[in-house]
Structure 1
Amino acid sequence: MSFTSTVLISGCSSGFGLETARLFLDRGWRVVATMRTPSDDLLPRSERLRVLPLDVTDIGSIHRCIDAAGPIDALVNNAGVGLLAPLEGVELVNAREVFETNTLGTIAMTQAVLRQFRERRAGVVVNVTSSVTLRPLPLLSVYTGSKAAVNAFTESLALELAPFDVRVRLVLPGRAPGTSFGDNARRLMEHSVPEAYMDFRERVFAATRDTVTQITHAQDVAEAVWRAVTDPSTPMHLPAGADAVDLALA
């Protein structure tokens, strides 16, 4: 791919998506940065940048975004929402929101670009999931399920698109304090912890604070996405962040 290639990235209002958009801009690509509520102040002004509205749970919004973006060379499915709570207390409406965004949103976005990739016999899809799919962790059953489903979807999709020279890859970030995941998870966790789980939840939180020494930075994820998009030799699963790498090796 040349430096005039175009990447479309979902979930660019903060965290991994915002940093990934910055990195691709810095390295000469045209970038279509998408977010639910577009802001022109988050990224440096550039003639190679377009900021478009996108709600990955709304098929109409997806089609309008893809039409406005025009031909692209790479799609990065980064938009996601977190949920940290014991399953017993999770409202089904919140579980649906997680799967609608993380799983079905990724599937719908990918489906929307496949025709142009197939017809050109070129293109890359990178799906950003999570290192929690590498090791079971408590209070994350719904979130992990939504991301593990994307992993399986991606692995199967890669086989059916390989004959058309379209590459599909996974980036698995580790724990990244300070991202929007925590805010989303806390929002969906409100009133979702039955009294019987309170002590367990506190023990889980304490253990995480006491034992986690390695974390993932947004730059780690952006670099992993860059590698997945630009390097055809990149493996299917690419952990991003020191803690994610440790999990993958274990």
Structure 2
Amino acid sequence: MKTVLITGCSSGYGLATARHFHAKGWTVIATMRSPREGLFAPSDRLRILSLDVTDPDSIRAAIEAAGPIDALVNNAGIGVVGAFEATPMAHVRKVFETNTFGTMAMVQAAIPGMRSRGSGVIVNVTSSVTLAPMPLAAAYTASKQAIEGFSGSLAHELGAFGVRAKLVEPGYAPTTRFAENTDIDVADLIPEAYADFAAPIFADFATPALTTSESDVAEAVWLAAQDKTDRLRFPAGPDAVALAQAS
């Protein structure tokens, strides 16, 4: 029986991915900053752990409590939508602390165990904005692009030890709380000078031609974790697949 540790499981992609792996027979360690009841049916193959990917002590404690893991899924992330001109640098750093440095810290903590066992897979969840950068998401896009390059290098670095690195690139999912897990109001990041530019973009967000579901992402993460080839990228959702094919 294999074990997966997944970050950011309180909602959205992380929750769906945890349920998917559990349904496939894996032991699931679902982590989140503030664990809460009622997310999963009771199971002896499921553990919920507290984990803040920006806190080294929290990472260390979670990795120790988890024990040997066969797969690490770095899903935890935060978003920001708005004109970069109006985005405080403190908030840009906050996005990078979770999306970029948090992912890197989790990988660094998981590598020794996987390397010593000569097996394992690391799946880093990024975004389709890495395939086609969109306006009003410059800080978020940059934080995810960094993980794309990081993962490509990591795949080469760890492959010699039998450890695989993969990327899952979800498309746009209206059901996810993209910017709701931050302490900044989107309205504050759209100065008057950007109002006319931003209006049609937000209208497209409201009625997208193609969207990604949480199940699309969960299935893509599952496929990436099973893949034994050198394939690195797994776009998730019809919009992400279309962007990947066009690039």
**TM-score under structure 1 normalisation?**
0.95
Structure 1 residue 215 corresponds to structure 2 residue 211: yes
Over 3 Å counting, the alpha-carbon distance change for 1:161 and 1:234 in structure 2 is closer
C-alpha distance in 2, partners of 1:24/1:162? Answer: 24
Contact 1:54 1:61 in 2 (8 A): yes
Name the % identity. Answer: 53
Report the CA distance between 1:233 and its aligned residue. 2.9
The counterpart of 1:192, out of the listed 181, 189, 208, is 189
Report the CA distance between 1:43 and its aligned residue. 1.1
Structure 1 residue 243 corresponds to structure 2 residue 228: no
C-alpha distance in 2, partners of 1:76/1:191? Answer: 33
C-alpha distance in 1, partners of 2:181/2:131? Answer: 22
Contact 2:2 2:26 in 1 (8 A): yes
Aligned pairs for 1:118-157 within 5 A: 118-157=115-154
Aligned pairs for 1:56-75 within 5 A: 56-75=53-72
Aligned pairs for 1:6-21 within 5 A: 6-21=3-18
Report the CA distance between 1:232 and its aligned residue. 1.1
Contact 2:79 2:178 in 1 (8 A): yes
Report the CA distance between 1:234 and its aligned residue. 6.8
| Residue of structure 1 equivalent to 2:101 | 104
Q: Which amino acid aligns with 2:88?
A: E
Report the CA distance between 1:197 and its aligned residue. 1.0
Aligned pairs for 1:37-52 within 5 A: 37-52=34-49
Root mean square deviation, CA, Å: 1.4
Report the CA distance between 1:151 and its aligned residue. 0.2
Over 3 Å counting, the alpha-carbon distance change for 1:150 and 1:125 in structure 2 is same
Report the CA distance between 1:156 and its aligned residue. 0.4
The counterpart of 1:205, out of the listed 202, 208, 224, is 202
The counterpart of 2:114, out of the listed 114, 117, 124, is 117
SS of corresponding position for 2:178: helix
Number of equivalenced pairs: 246
Structure 1 residue 89 corresponds to structure 2 residue 89: no
Where in structure 1 are there 5+ consecutive unaligned residues? Answer: none
Structure 1 residue 25 corresponds to structure 2 residue 22: yes
C-alpha distance in 2, partners of 1:62/1:186? Answer: 23
SS of corresponding position for 2:160: helix
The counterpart of 2:225, out of the listed 223, 229, 234, is 229
C-alpha distance in 2, partners of 1:104/1:183? Answer: 20
Report the CA distance between 1:137 and its aligned residue. 1.1
C-alpha distance in 1, partners of 2:186/2:119? Answer: 41
C-alpha distance in 1, partners of 2:237/2:66? Answer: 30
**TM-score under structure 2 normalisation?**
0.96
Where in structure 2 are there 5+ consecutive unaligned residues? Answer: none
Report the CA distance between 1:82 and its aligned residue. 0.5
* Cα shift readout 1:69-108 (whole Å, capped 9, x = no counterpart): 1111100000000111111000111111100000000000
* Cα shift readout 1:97-147 (whole Å, capped 9, x = no counterpart): 100000000000000010001111101000000001111211011100000
SS of corresponding position for 2:156: helix
Q: Which amino acid aligns with 2:126?
A: T
SS of corresponding position for 2:18: helix
Report the CA distance between 1:186 and its aligned residue. 8.4
